[in-house]
Amino acid sequence: MSLPQSAITPEAEPFALYTQLKVNQNAQQVLEALQKLPALVEELNETQPGAQLTLSVAFSHAFWSQLEQSMPSELKPFPELGEGDIFAPSSDVDVLVHCHSNRHDLHFYLLRKLMGQIAEDVTIVDETQGFRFMDSRDMTDFVDGTENPRGEQRAEVALVADGEFAGGSYVMVQRFEHNLPAWNRLNVSAQEKVVGRTKPDSIELEDVPAASHVGRVDIKEEGKGLKIVRHSLPYGTVSALTVCCLLHTVIQYITSTRCLKACMALQMAKPINYCASLKPSLVVTSLRLRRQCLRP
Can you give the residue ranges of every domain in the chain? 15-287
Handedness of CA 122, 16, 254, 243 (dihedral sign): positive
Amino acid making up residue 123: T
* Least confident piece of the model among 106-110, 115-119, 131-135: 131-135
- What is the mean predicted confidence (pLDDT) over 76-85? 76
End-to-end CA distance of the chain: 35
- Look at residue 81 in the predicted model and tell me its pLDDT: 74
Q: What is the mean pLDDT of residues 1-24?
A: 91
* Residues 6 or more apart in contact with residue 163 via CB below 8 angstroms: none
**Above 80 in pLDDT, residue 209?**
yes
Annotated catalytic residue: which of 94, 105, 144, 218? Answer: 144
Residue 237 neighbours by CB under 8 Å, 6+ apart:
139, 176, 177, 178, 180
Task: Answer yes or no: 144 catalytic.
Answer: yes
At residue 262, does pLDDT exceed 80? no
Whether 202 and 143 have beta carbons less than 8 Å apart is answered as: yes
The percent of residues in the chain predicted with pLDDT above 90, rounded, is: 43
pLDDT tens digits, 23-52 = 999 999 999 999 999 999 999 999 999 999
Nearest of 172, 171, 178, 169 to residue 213 by alpha carbon: 178
What contacts 112, CB < 8 A, 6 or more positions away? Answer: none
Q: Which pLDDT score, from 0 to 100, does residue 244 have?
A: 54
- What is the pLDDT at residue 252? 47
What's the rounded Cα separation, in Å, for the pair 227 and 39? 31
Q: How confident is the model at residue 245 (pLDDT cuts 50, 70, 90)?
A: low
CA distance linking residue 288 with residue 67, whole number of Å: 6
Query: pTM to 2 decimals?
Result: 0.85
Confidence of residue 230 (pLDDT cuts 50, 70, 90): confident
Instruction: Give 117's contacts (C-beta < 8 A, 6+ positions apart).
Output: 29, 33
Q: What are phi and psi of 232, to 5 degrees?
A: -95, 130
Q: Please state the rounded mean pLDDT for residues 270-289.
A: 69
